[in-house]
Amino acid sequence: MGRHRRPLAPAQGPTLQARRKLAAGLAGASALVATALALAVDPAAPPAPDRPTTGVPAPQAAP
């Protein structure tokens, strides 16, 4: 029978820190690109003329 060896433990030191730095960097870059695109890209169409331009509905008279 072959000898049983202890399985190698995954690296926890610098490799884990490098992964966390990479993940944080990618998340930051993604947020920066999303912000730049939101500011640079114009909407495809103007709002409909029967809709208010603000998110608040127009006040209506009481019945």
Q: What is the pLDDT of residues 42-59, one digit of tens each?
A: 777 777 788 766 666 667
pTM of the model: 0.49
Distance CA 44, CA 37 (A): 13
Q: In this predicted model, which residue has the larger pLDDT, 13 or 19?
A: 19
Sole residue written with tokens 């930051």: 28
Q: What percent of the chain stands above pLDDT 90? A: 30
* DSSP for residue 56: S
